[in-house]
């Protein structure tokens, strides 16, 4: 059904319109989650350090990058990883 178009205001969303709406919802959610994570991490570090933490593998997240976990699983697991950092980090 890829490539289908629907007319705005006429019935339910299908095809490209539905896919676009789904992408927009996910993007907004991830953007909100990243902002919440950054706010929490600013209690510990500066923005350049936060950027590195978000894009580096994390042992508490089974070697996955926090930014990827945000996109795939949501904010809860990343906040748990931050709690580990606050408590002194993984050892």
Indicate the domain borders of the chain: 16-86
Q: How far apart are CA 11 and CA 83, in angstroms?
A: 46
Q: Give the side-chain half-sphere CA count within 13 A for 47.
A: 2
Q: Tell which residue, 71, 70, 68, 66, has the closest CA to residue 84.
A: 66
Q: List residues bridging with 58 in a β-sheet.
A: 64
Q: How far apart are CA 73 and CA 76, in angstroms?
A: 8
Give tens-digit pLDDT for 27-84. Answer: 766 788 999 999 999 999 999 999 999 999 999 999 999 999 998 898 999 999 999 9
pLDDT at 1: 46
Under DSSP, the state recorded for 10 is: S
């Amino acid at each position: 059904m890829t490539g289908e178009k629907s007319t705005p205001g006429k019935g339910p969303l299908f095809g490209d319109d539905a896919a676009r709406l789904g992408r927009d919802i996910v993007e907004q959610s991830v953007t909100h989650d990243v902002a919440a994570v950054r706010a929490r991490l600013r209690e510990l570090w500066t923005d350049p350090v936060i950027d590195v933490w978000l894009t580096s593998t994390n042992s508490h997240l089974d070697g996955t990058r926090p930014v990827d976990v945000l996109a795939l699983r949501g904010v809860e697991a990343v906040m748990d990883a931050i709690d580990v950092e606050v408590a002194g980090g993984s050892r």
